[in-house]
Amino acid sequence: MSQARLVAEYVLSAGSQREAHELADAIAREQTIEVPPGVGSDELQARMLGRIEAVESVGEGRFLAKISFSPEVVGTGLPQILNVAWGNVSLMSGVRLEGLSIPDHVLEELPGPSLGIDGMRALVGAGGRRALFSVAVKPVGRTSQELAELASVFARAGVDVIKDDHGLVDQDPAPFHERVRLVADAVAEANAVSGGHAVYFPNVTGPVDVLDERIDHAAACGCRGIMLCPSIVGLDAMRAVASRRRDLAIMAHPSHAQSAPRRAEGIAPEVLFGTLYRVAGADAAVYVNAEGRFAWPLDTCHAINRNLRRPLGRLRTALPTPAGGVNAADAARWLDTYGPDTMLLIGGSLLARDDVLAATHAVVEAAHATVDRQAEGGPSDE
């Protein structure tokens, strides 16, 4: 078979090169035929077993193992990619998924972003190659009317993307259908007055059997995109949404993603948010910014950005969307750090200000200034 193989990179905690090799052997077997040596013909084992491409030391007690998997085992569906690259091995101690190379023939079958970075700029009428700015309406407990009024303030301030907080689902104070209708109308009215192009992405995350109906309601209310939590509804559920509705942008929120830097296990954030969320259709991938409430290191943020922006088969790029305690006063600095192919998401920090409109407008100006700062020889991606 001439098709390329899926390649997964695991960081293994092991006491020696030999121990790391044994662990890599165990993974290559576990993730494919999952039977003891000798079961199945030699031909079958040669054909189906994962192949160890390299095992190398990357630090004290840490080894990087590259294992490739046959197209015959992997097929082209996203669930089986997860099953092969991070299936039973996700239950092992001392194994972390740190890299994933998906072959072109598999990428061909995955939707990727509907709009991509350029399409998101066009959606919000951004002139030039500038950064975008997103805010959240919140908190849960406010009424639909209160949330709509807040959205109106944001739209008048010139925000690009107004999203629901991920904690807003279908609670009594702001039921889904009512909230989406009122907030969408408020944003449209504010745009009509200001001449702006703010868009509203409601949170459609919910039971899988109402997901499509919620998305259709959002579209019927004039929304040009939606927000959902792929790690809650399932990554393949987002892939199905992205395949079905190429007319809508998807903002992917990391709630329940169980991913963080510096762990010995789990999926590395740059793989989950940078690669998997993108191939599954996220136009914007929300992740935890450095220095925020979660204290992620800056190099993780850069690694996520790189994966969202790099060439990947025929798939469009996706917007890195750092969030999670970004202070509005630091907006310009973060946009300098990440460059204009970024959407900064600021939530609570704006709401704590006495004058929300003015505070929001200041960040809008910082986002609009990113092209100029770039032209002055500003930030790199590293």
Binding residues for a second copy restricted to 296-355, rule: CB under 8 A: 324, 347-349, 351-352
Binding residues for a second copy restricted to 95-134, rule: CB under 8 A: none
CB 301 within 8 A of CB 129: no
Three-state SS at 61: coil
Binding residues for a second copy restricted to 187-216, rule: CB under 8 A: 205-209
Minimum distance, C-beta of residue 205 to a second copy, in the bound complex (Å): 6
Round to whole Å and give the CA distance between 188 and 319. Answer: 24
Round to whole Å and give the CA distance between 120 and 368. Answer: 15
One of 20, 33, 180, 223 touching a second copy (CB under 8 A) = 33
Question: Judged by CB under 8 A, does residue 358 bind a second copy?
Answer: no
| Cβ-based burial of 192 (10 A; exposed 0-12, middle 13-18, buried ≥19) | exposed
Based on CB atoms, which residue is closest to a second copy, 85 or 199?
85
Based on CB atoms, which residue is closest to a second copy, 1 or 60?
1
* Nearest alpha-carbon partner for 130 in 164, 162, 160: 160
Question: Judged by CB under 8 A, does residue 60 bind a second copy?
Answer: no
Question: Judged by CB under 8 A, does residue 379 bind a second copy?
Answer: no
Binding mask 148-177 for a second copy (x = CB under 8 A): -----------------xxx-xxxxx----
Based on CB atoms, which residue is closest to a second copy, 189 or 265?
265
Based on CB atoms, which residue is closest to a second copy, 124 or 276?
276
Minimum distance, C-beta of residue 138 to a second copy, in the bound complex (Å): 6
Binding residues for a second copy restricted to 217-276, rule: CB under 8 A: 229, 232-234, 236-237, 239-240, 254-260, 262-263, 265-267
Tokens standing for 147? 């949330």
CB 266 within 8 A of CB 259: yes
Round to whole Å and give the CA distance between 343 and 130. Answer: 9
Q: Which amino acid is at 309?
A: R
Question: Judged by CB under 8 A, does residue 75 bind a second copy?
Answer: yes
**Residue 199 CA, distance from chain mean position:** 19
